[in-house]
Structure 1
Amino acid sequence: GDPACPQAGVLPVPGARLHYEVRGRGPLLVLLPGGGGDAGVYDAFAPLLADAYTVVALDPRGYSRSVLDGPPGTQTVERQADDVAALVAHLGGGPADVIGGSDGALVGLDLLARYPALVRRVLAHEPPAFGLLPGAEEHSAFIASVHETFVREGMGPAGARFAAWAGAGGDRWEPAPELAARLFANGPRFLEHELRSFTSWLPDIGALRGPAA
C-alpha cells in the first residue's frame, strides 16, 4: 500500500483501546511519540522507512484516538510500556526495533528492560530521566512550577513556559491542522497526568546493561 496512507487498527488493552497505524513490510519498527503526542507526529518520517520495515506508530493510551475505558489518571512509563509490549505481541511478537523521543524514549527504555525478548534495540532520543542528570533538583522544581502554572493559569501559559524551556520553538515544525488540533487537545492531560510522573521516573540501569559478563 501507499506509505503515506497507513492501515489503522485498534487493540484492546487493560483499561483502554489503542489506536495504531502500520506502514510497509519487513522487520518491525515501532515509533513512540513524546508526551502528549500521537502517531501523527511521525507522518513525515514513517513513510521514509516503510520500504525496509513494517513501521508502526501509536497514540498512547488516553491521547487522541486511544480511548480510555474510564476516567483519566496518572500516566506511567510502565503502563505505556506494557501497552507497547501488547502491541508488539499482537503484530507477531517481534523482536522489534524501537525509536522513541522524549517521554517515548523513557517508554522504550522500560520496554527493553522488562520485555527484552520483544525488543532488538532501542534508539532513545533525549529521554527526560532528570534524576540521572546534573541539576536534577532544579529540573524537578521547574516541572513542579509548570504544573502549578497550569493549575493556576491554564494550558496556554503553562504550555508556553514548558515549550520555551524545552526549546520547542513553533518556527521549527508546523503540524498539519488536524494533527495540531489533536495535540492541542492532549495538552491539558499531558500537563496534569504525565509531565510529573514521567520526568521523575528512572530507568532500570542494571536491566539495561544486561547479564554481567
Structure 2
Amino acid sequence: MFAFSWVEIVSAFLVLFAIIDATGSVPIFLNLRSQGRTIHAEKAAIYSSIILIGFLFIGEGLLRLFQVDISSFAVAGAVVLLIISIEMIFGVEIFRNDNPSADNSSTLFPVVFPLIAGPGSFTTLLTMRAEYHTINIIIAVLINLVIVYLVLRYLDQVKKLLGESGAYILRKFFGVILMAISVKLITSNMSALIETVNAAL
C-alpha cells in the first residue's frame, strides 16, 4: 500500500499534468483576469487538493455502491483519457467552461472546478488506482498542485516565458504522452478483465 516508487510518481505526475493542463489553461486564466475577476492561487491549490485526494479515497467506494469493479472502470477511464488526448493533439476543446460566477472571484468556479478538479481528473485518479500505489498518486497530485499554484501565482510571467507557441507545443507533446499511457492502461486492464472472465467460466 505504501510502496514508494519514483517510476510510478513520474508516470502519475505526467498523466495528471496532461489532464489538469495548467499551462494550457493559461489563456483561460488570463481571460478571467481581463474580465476583472480574481483568482486566489493559494485557495485554488488547497481546494483542489482536498477535492482530488478526497475523491481518490471515496471514489472506489462509490464504484462498489454501483457494483463496478476497478478494472472495468480503469478501461472505461482509459478510453476517456484516450479521447482527451485526441482533443489535446488536434486542438478540439469540449470541456472548457469560462462562464462568470455570481461573485467577482473565479477561484472555485471555474478554476478549481472544472478546470483543475473536474471529470477528467476524477476519472484519471480512479484509473490510476488500478496501476499505481496510493501514496505515489498522492505525491503526484501534490506536485501537480504546486505547479498549479505557481502558474496561478505567476500568471503573467508564465505567459511571457512560454509564449503562445510554447504553450501550444507543450499541450501537443503531453497529448501524445497521454495517448500512449491511455493505450497502455487499456491493454493491461483488458488482460485482467479477460483473466477474470476466463476464471469465472
| TM-score, with length taken from structure 2 | 0.30
Query: Relative contact order: is structure 1 or structure 2 higher (C-alpha 8 Å, sep ≥ 6)?
Result: 2
Q: Which of the two has greater helix per residue?
A: 2
Q: Which of the two has greater strand per residue?
A: 1
